[in-house]
Structure 1
Amino acid sequence: MSGFSGICALLIFGASAAPDAASNQAFLGKSALGGDNSTLGEWNKTALELLSSSQGQDRDGSVCQVHEILERGGSASYWVYNKHHQKYLSTDGYNVDLYGEHGDHAVWHFTRSSGTTTNTFSMMNDWAQKYMDSSGHNVHMWVSRNGLGDKGSIPENIKWHVFEADHLTRGADPCTFYLLHDGSHEWLDTHRGNVHVSPYLVNDVADLQWQLIPARAGRR
Structure 2
Amino acid sequence: MRNLAQSAYDEFFDGKGSCTVELKYSGRFKGFNANVKMVGSRITLCASKRWKDVSPEIQKGLFHELFARLFQSSKRTLNMELYDNFMRSLPRLSPKTLSHPVLERSFDRVNSLMFGGLMERPNLKVGKGVNQLGLYEYSSDTVTISEILLPYPDLMDYVMYHELLHKKHQFKRGARRTTHHSKAFREDEAKFPGARVLEKRLQMLVSRRQAFDNRW
TM-score, L = length of structure 2: 0.25
Higher relative strand content: 1
Larger radius of gyration: 2
Structure with greater helix percent:
2
Q: Which has the higher contact order (CA 8 A, sep 6+)?
A: 1
